[in-house]
Amino acid sequence: MKSARFLVNTLVYTILVVSLVAFITPFLLIIINSFKTNAEIIESPLAWPTTFNFSNFAASMKEMNYFQSFLNSLGITLGSVVLIGVFAAMTAHYFVRNKTKTNGALFFAMVASMIIPFQAIMIPLVSLYGAKLGWIQTMPKSTLIFMYLGFGSPLAVFIYHGFVKSIPLELEEAAFMDGCDRRGTFFRIILPILMPTTVTIGILNILWIWNDFLLPLLVLQNAGRGSYTLPLAIQVFKGTYTTDNEKFLPAVLLVILPILIVYLFAQRFIIQGVTQGSVK
C-alpha cells in the first residue's frame, strides 16, 4: 500500500515538473538570450551567455522609445482602471438599492453585452470615433481610456452587483439616520467595504488593458510613436527580428519585465483576484 502511494506521488511530481519546465523554458530562454550576440544565439540558443551584453538593452530601449511607451501604458492602464473601479461601483450599488424597471433593464443590457466580442464592433468603433467624430485624431489617449471604460464596465458592474447584494441594508439606513446623504454613504461606507472586490476587478482589468494590442493598434496607430503603449512599441522590430534577435529579445524582456516584477510581489492577490473574477 505504501509503495503504491509512493509510485503515485512519483508520477504526480514527474508530470508537474515536466509541465513546469514547459511553462517556464520560454521565459528562461528569452532572458539568457537577451544578453547574447546574434552569432551566439544562432550557434546555441540553450547555452549560457559568455559575455553579458547590456548594450543590447540600451539599443532596444532607444529604438522602441521605451520610457515614453512605458509611461503611456502606465497612464492609460491606471486611468482606465481607476475610472472603471469608481464608476462601476457607483452604478452597481445604485442598481442594487434602487430596483426600478429602468435599472433592471440597464443591468440586463450590460450583462447581455458581454457576449459581444470586440471584433464585432471594432469596425464601427473606428468609423465613429475616427472618421465621424475625429476623436482618434485629436485626443487618441483619452479616447482609448474612454473606450476601456466602456468595455470594462459591464463585467465590473456585474461583479460589484453580486457583492453589493451581500452588504446589509441596515448599514446604509443607519448612516442615513445619522444624517449622511446618499453620496456620502456610498463614498464613506460602501466604497471602503467594496475594497476586496475592487482589488479583484483592478487585477482583471490591469492584466487585460496593460497587454491589449488590438484596440491600441486601432486608436493609437496613426497618432505617432509618442503615444504608443508597450505592445505597440515593440512592433518596430517586427519584420527585422528574425535576423536581429540581439535587439528583439531584450525588447521582449523589457516589455514583460514590469508585469513579471509586479507578479513576484503580488502573486497571491493576482491568482486570488482571477479566481474570484472567473467564478462569479
Q: Pick one of 7, 58, 123, 139: the residue that binds another protein (CB under 8 A).
A: 123
Closest approach, Cβ 55 to another protein, in A, equals 20
3-state DSSP assignment of residue 212: coil
Q: Grid coordinates representing 90?
A: 457607483
Does 1 help bind another protein (rule: CB under 8 A)? no
Q: Pick one of 48, 101, 117, 168: the residue that binds another protein (CB under 8 A).
A: 117
Residue 151 or 227: which CB sits closer to another protein?
151
Does 214 help bind another protein (rule: CB under 8 A)? yes
Does 233 help bind another protein (rule: CB under 8 A)? no
Does 15 help bind another protein (rule: CB under 8 A)? yes
- Provide CB contacts within 8 A for 107, sequence distance 6+: 95, 157, 161
Closest approach, Cβ 199 to another protein, in A, equals 16
Q: At what angle do helices 66-97 and 195-211 cross, to 10 degrees?
A: 140
Does 91 help bind another protein (rule: CB under 8 A)? yes
Residue 67 or 213: which CB sits closer to another protein?
213
Does 73 help bind another protein (rule: CB under 8 A)? no
Q: Grid coordinates representing 64?
A: 522602441
Cβ–Cβ under 8 Å, residues 63 and 247: yes
Closest approach, Cβ 45 to another protein, in A, equals 4
Dihedral sign from CA coordinates of 274, 276, 279, 280: negative
Give the phi and the psi of residue 265 in degrees, each rounded to 5.
Answer: -95, -35
Does 23 help bind another protein (rule: CB under 8 A)? yes
Closest approach, Cβ 51 to another protein, in A, equals 19
Choose the binding region for another protein from 19-27, 52-60, 63-71, 193-201 (rule: CB under 8 A): 19-27
What is the DSSP code (8-state) at residue 36?
S
Residue 58 or 171: which CB sits closer to another protein?
171
Residue type at 191? L
Q: Which helix (H) or strand (E) holds 167?
A: none
Does 7 help bind another protein (rule: CB under 8 A)? no
Pairwise CA distance, residues 74 & 255, whole Å: 12
Pairwise CA distance, residues 121 & 102, whole Å: 25
Q: Pick one of 10, 50, 127, 137: the residue that binds another protein (CB under 8 A).
A: 127
- Provide CB contacts within 8 A for 233, sequence distance 6+: 64, 65, 66, 69, 225, 255
Which residues, 137 to 176, sit near another protein by CB under 8 A? 146-147, 149-151, 153-154, 157, 169, 172-173, 176
Closest approach, Cβ 139 to another protein, in A, equals 14
Instruction: Tell me the Cα Rg of the chain.
Output: 24
* Unique residue bearing C-alpha cell 491606471: 78
Choose the binding region for another protein from 51-59, 61-69, 193-201, 208-216 (rule: CB under 8 A): 208-216
Which residues, 41 to 60, sit near another protein by CB under 8 A? 41-42, 44-46
